[in-house]
Chains A and B, each alone.
Chain A
Amino acid sequence: TQLLEQSPQFLSIQEGENLTVYCNSSSVFSSLQWYRQEPGEGPVLLVTVVTGGEVKKLKRLTFQFGDARKDSSLHITAAQPGDTGLYLCAGARGGSNYKLTFGKGTLLTVNP
């Protein structure tokens, strides 16, 4: 059962464009993480959101957790080639303080 759906699966854009990636579920999560994975490397944690409605910014990246804590979005402003990678969202369920549920990821390519 795929509990976290990410969309789009693939995204190819030009440098300078804006984009939004979505992570949706019918389940409530106690926290949600976003990771970026570059080719041949392991995922690297970008941010954790915990409170419904929370917005966090990391330079040109803006992360939002839905009010009901079932969904999240990642918005990138003025994308750069260095943003290229696989973006993964992962949710933690209440009562399980170690396992994460991962989405399948969005593969972003930013062309110069």
Chain B
Amino acid sequence: DVKVTQSSRYLVKRTGEKVFLECVQDMDHENMFWYRQDPGLGLRLIYFSYDVKMKEKGDIPEGYSVSREKKERFSLILESASTNQTSMYLCASSLWGQGVFNEQFFGPGTRLTVL
């Protein structure tokens, strides 16, 4: 059974704190993604990675960075958390290659509140 896990389900941080969100997948997938989900705005892609140490900016990368040191792990970093980063953060993974249908498998999400 495919599995994507996220380090925390709920997180409360203060403005200015550095925040780490961890994601681990056990499917040997090449691609990993970080999204944020807000009411009325849908899922917005923050960053994605298609290989170890490789990353590309998504649609809303400002205020975020990522790290992928191992294939199974993809970390999202908020360098200095702000209240407008309060959101639901979703990690996903998918296979890479011809013939695959880009199906993404999601973790349960981290509900981050920045006070």
Interface residues of A (CB under 8 A from B): 30-31, 33, 35, 40-45, 48, 50, 88, 90, 92, 97-100, 102-105
Contact = CB atoms under 8 A, between A and B. Distances in A.
B109 A41 contact: yes
Contact of A100 (B100, B104, B109, B111): B104
A48 B103 contact: yes
B45 A42 contact: no
Contacts of B9: 40
Interface of B: 4, 9, 31, 40-43, 45, 48, 50, 90, 92, 94, 96-98, 100-109, 111
26 contacts: A30-B101, A31-B102, A33-B103, A33-B104, A40-B9, A40-B108, A41-B109, A42-B106, A42-B108, A42-B109, A43-B106, A45-B103, A45-B104, A88-B42, A92-B102, A97-B97, A97-B100, A97-B102, A98-B31, A98-B48, A98-B50, A98-B94, A98-B102, A99-B45, A99-B102, A102-B42
Contacts of B92: 42
Nearest to A92: B102
Nearest to A33: B103
A97 B96 contact: yes
A105 B42 contact: yes
Contacts of A97: 96-98, 100, 102
Contacts of B97: 97
Nearest to B91: A42
- In order of increasing CB-CB distance, the 8 nearest A-B pairs are A42-B106, A104-B42, A92-B102, A31-B101, A98-B31, A102-B43, A48-B101, A43-B106
A111 B66 CA distance: 41
